[in-house]
Chain A
Amino acid sequence: MKALQVSRVTKSYGSTEVLRGVSLSLEPGERVALMGPSGSGKSTLLNCIGGIDRPDTGTIEISGVALGGLDEDGLCRVRRETVSTVFQFFHLLPTLSVRENVEFPLQLQGLSVKERDARVDGLIEEVGLSHRASAMPHELSGGEMQRVAIARALAIEPRLILADEPTGNLDSATGEAILDLLASLSERHGIAMLVVTHSPQVTRICRRTLEMRDGLLLGQEE
Chain B
Amino acid sequence: MSVPSPSSRPASIGGVLWSRLIWRHWKREPALTATLAGILALGVAVFLAVRLANKAAVSGFGLFTESISGESDLLLRPRSGFFETSVLRDLREISGKRPVDFFPVLELSGAVQTGAEKPDGDLLRFVGVDLVAIGNAIGQSEEAGEGVGFSAEEGEPGLLGVTDACLVGEAFARARGVAKDDRLRVWINDRVADLRIAGILPDPANRPAIPENLVLMDLPALQKVSGETGRISRIEIRFPEGKAEGGIRAAASEGLAAWAQERGHLLETPEDRKASVTRMSAAFRLNLTILSGLALLVGIYLIMQAMEAAVTKRRGEIAILRSLGVTPDQIRRTWLTEAAVLGLVGGVLGIVLGRLLAEGLVGGIAATVNTLYYETTTDAVRLHPGEAAFSLVFGLIASLVAGWIPAREAALTPPSQALRQGAQGGGLVWLRRWPVGLVLFAAAVGVARLPALTFGEGTNFPLGGYLAALLAVLGASVFLGGLFPPFARLIGWGRGEAMRRYAASRLRAVGGRHRLTAAGLSVAIGMSAAMAILVASFEKTLTSWIGQLLKADLYVAAPGSASVANGNRLAEVDWRALLSLPGIDGADTLQRHAVTYEGRELLIGGAAYHDDPSRHLQLLWIEAPAVIGPDALETGGAWVSEPFARRYAKRSGDRLTLPTPSGPREVTIEGVYADYGNEAGTVLVSRRLAEEWFDDRSVSNLAIYTSPGVDPEAVLESIRGRFPALVTRTNEKLREESIRIFHQTFAVTYALEAIAVVIAVAGLGLALAGLLLERRNELATLRALGATRRDIARAAMWEGLGIALAGLAGGLAVSFFLGWILIGVINPQSFGWTLRYAVPWGMFVFLSGVTLATAALVAWTVGYRNANLKSDREE
Q: Hey, which bits of chain A sit against chain B, CB under 8 A?
A: 47, 50, 52, 72-73, 76-81, 85, 87, 89, 91-96, 100, 104-105, 107-109, 113, 116, 152, 156
Contact B786 A81 (CB under 8 A): yes
A selection of 28 A-B contacts at a CB cut-off of 8 Å is A47-B874, A50-B784, A76-B791, A78-B786, A80-B787, A85-B784, A89-B777, A91-B777, A91-B781, A92-B781, A93-B781, A93-B782, A94-B509, A94-B778, A95-B506, A95-B509, A96-B501, A104-B501, A104-B502, A105-B785, A107-B497, A107-B498, A107-B501, A108-B498, A108-B787, A108-B791, A113-B495, A152-B785
Contact B495 A104 (CB under 8 A): no
The 10 A-B pairs at the shortest CB distance, nearest first, are namely A80-B786, A107-B498, A79-B786, A95-B505, A91-B781, A76-B788, A108-B498, A85-B784, A95-B509, A105-B785
Bound Cα distance from A80 to B782, whole angstroms: 10
Residue of B nearest to A109 (CB): B786
Q: Which residues of chain A have C-beta atoms less than 8 A from B422's C-beta? A: 94
Q: Which residues of chain B have C-beta atoms less than 8 A from A95's C-beta? A: 502, 505-506, 508-509
Contact B784 A91 (CB under 8 A): yes
Closest Cβ–Cβ distance, residue B424 to chain A (whole Å): 9
Q: Which residues of chain A have C-beta atoms less than 8 A from B501's C-beta? A: 96, 100, 104, 107
Q: Which residues of chain B have C-beta atoms less than 8 A from A94's C-beta? A: 422, 509, 778
Bound Cα distance from A108 to B782, whole angstroms: 10
Question: Does any Cβ of A come within 8 Å of B789's Cβ?
Answer: yes
From A47, A52, A100, B505 is in contact (CB under 8 Å) with A100
Contacts A94-B778, A95-B505, A96-B502 given: A76-B497 contact, CB under 8 Å?
Answer: no
Among A72, A95, A109, find the residue whose CB has the most chain B CB atoms closer than 10 A.
Answer: A95
Contact A96 B505 (CB under 8 A): yes
Bound Cα distance from A91 to B495, whole angstroms: 22
Interface on chain B toward A: helix, strand, loop, or mixed SS? helix
Closest Cβ–Cβ distance, residue A85 to chain B (whole Å): 5
Question: Does any Cβ of A come within 8 Å of B783's Cβ?
Answer: yes
Interface size class of B (residues with CB under 8 A): 20 to 34
Residue of A nearest to B424 (CB): A94
Bound Cα distance from A91 to B781, whole angstroms: 6
Bound Cα distance from A107 to B785, whole angstroms: 11
Contact B498 A104 (CB under 8 A): yes
Q: Which residues of chain A have C-beta atoms less than 8 A from B495's C-beta? A: 107, 113, 116
Add 20 more A-B contacts to A85-B784, A96-B502, A105-B786 (CB < 8 A). A52-B784, A76-B783, A76-B786, A76-B788, A80-B785, A80-B787, A89-B777, A91-B777, A93-B502, A93-B505, A93-B781, A94-B509, A94-B778, A95-B505, A100-B501, A104-B785, A105-B785, A108-B787, A113-B495, A116-B495
Task: Report B764-785 residues with CB < 8 Å from chain A CB.
Answer: 777-778, 780-785
Bound Cα distance from A100 to B777, whole angstroms: 18
Contact B509 A79 (CB under 8 A): no
Q: Which residues of chain B have C-beta atoms less than 8 A from A52's C-beta? A: 780, 783-784, 874
Q: Which residues of chain B have C-beta atoms less than 8 A from A107's C-beta? A: 495, 497-498, 501
Q: Which residues of chain B have C-beta atoms less than 8 A from A116's C-beta? A: 495
Q: Which residues of chain B have C-beta atoms less than 8 A from A156's C-beta? A: 786
Closest Cβ–Cβ distance, residue A188 to chain B (whole Å): 22
Interface on chain A toward B: helix, strand, loop, or mixed SS? helix
Q: Which residues of chain B have C-beta atoms less than 8 A from A81's C-beta? A: 786
Contact A79 B502 (CB under 8 A): no
Closest Cβ–Cβ distance, residue B470 to chain A (whole Å): 34
Contact A79 B783 (CB under 8 A): yes
Residue of B nearest to A50 (CB): B784
Bound Cα distance from A119 to B205, whole angstroms: 86
Q: Which residues of chain B have C-beta atoms less than 8 A from A152's C-beta? A: 785
Contact A79 B505 (CB under 8 A): no
Bound Cα distance from A89 to B873, whole angstroms: 10
Contacts A52-B783, A94-B778 given: A72-B789 contact, CB under 8 Å?
Answer: yes
Q: Which residues of chain A have C-beta atoms less than 8 A from B784's C-beta? A: 50, 52, 79, 85, 87, 91
Bound Cα distance from A124 to B873, whole angstroms: 28
Residue of B nearest to A149 (CB): B781
Among B422, B506, B780, B783, find the residue whose CB has the most chain A CB atoms closer than 10 A.
Answer: B783
Residue of B nearest to A86 (CB): B784
Contact B786 A77 (CB under 8 A): yes
In the complex, per-residue mask of B779-805: 1 if CB is within 8 Å of any chain A CB, else 0: 011111111110100000000000000
Residue of B nearest to A152 (CB): B785
Q: Which residues of chain B have C-beta atoms less than 8 A from A105's C-beta? A: 785-786
Q: Which residues of chain B have C-beta atoms less than 8 A from A108's C-beta? A: 498, 785-787, 791
Closest Cβ–Cβ distance, residue B627 to chain A (whole Å): 74
Q: Which residues of chain B have C-beta atoms less than 8 A from A89's C-beta? A: 777, 873
Contact A93 B788 (CB under 8 A): no
Bound Cα distance from A76 to B791, whole angstroms: 10
Bound Cα distance from A221 to B791, whole angstroms: 42
Bound Cα distance from A105 to B787, whole angstroms: 8
Q: Which residues of chain A have C-beta atoms less than 8 A from B787's C-beta? A: 76, 80, 108
Residue of A nearest to B500 (CB): A107
Contact A73 B788 (CB under 8 A): yes
Q: Which residues of chain A have C-beta atoms less than 8 A from B509's C-beta? A: 94-95
Closest Cβ–Cβ distance, residue A9 to chain B (whole Å): 18
Among A47, A52, A92, A152, find the residue whose CB has the most chain B CB atoms closer than 10 A.
Answer: A52
Q: Which residues of chain B have C-beta atoms less than 8 A from A109's C-beta? A: 786
Closest Cβ–Cβ distance, residue A98 to chain B (whole Å): 13
Q: Which residues of chain B have C-beta atoms less than 8 A from A78's C-beta? A: 786
Bound Cα distance from A218 to B785, whole angstroms: 31
Bound Cα distance from A116 to B778, whole angstroms: 22
Q: Which residues of chain A have C-beta atoms less than 8 A from B505's C-beta? A: 93, 95-96, 100
Closest Cβ–Cβ distance, residue B366 to chain A (whole Å): 54
Q: Which residues of chain B have C-beta atoms less than 8 A from A100's C-beta? A: 501, 505
Bound Cα distance from A107 to B794, whole angstroms: 14
Bound Cα distance from A78 to B786, whole angstroms: 7
Closest Cβ–Cβ distance, residue B716 to chain A (whole Å): 69
Bound Cα distance from A58 to B420, whole angstroms: 40
Bound Cα distance from A47 to B780, whole angstroms: 11
Residue of A nearest to B871 (CB): A91
Residue of A nearest to B789 (CB): A72
Bound Cα distance from A113 to B786, whole angstroms: 19
Bound Cα distance from A113 to B495, whole angstroms: 7
Q: Which residues of chain A have C-beta atoms less than 8 A from B873's C-beta? A: 89
Q: Which residues of chain B have C-beta atoms less than 8 A from A47's C-beta? A: 874
Bound Cα distance from A78 to B789, whole angstroms: 14
Q: Which residues of chain A have C-beta atoms less than 8 A from B498's C-beta? A: 104, 107-108
Residue of B nearest to A107 (CB): B498
Closest Cβ–Cβ distance, residue B494 to chain A (whole Å): 9
Among B778, B780, B785, find the residue whose CB has the most chain A CB atoms closer than 10 A.
Answer: B785
Closest Cβ–Cβ distance, residue A39 to chain B (whole Å): 14
Among B495, B505, B783, B784, find the residue whose CB has the most chain A CB atoms closer than 10 A.
Answer: B784
Closest Cβ–Cβ distance, residue B372 to chain A (whole Å): 54
Q: Which residues of chain A have C-beta atoms less than 8 A from B497's C-beta? A: 107
Q: Which residues of chain A have C-beta atoms less than 8 A from B502's C-beta? A: 93, 95-96, 104
Bound Cα distance from A91 to B783, whole angstroms: 12
In the complex, per-residue mask of B653-691: 1 if CB is within 8 Å of any chain A CB, else 0: 000000000000000000000000000000000000000
Bound Cα distance from A89 to B784, whole angstroms: 14
Bound Cα distance from A104 to B788, whole angstroms: 14
Residue of A nearest to B786 (CB): A80
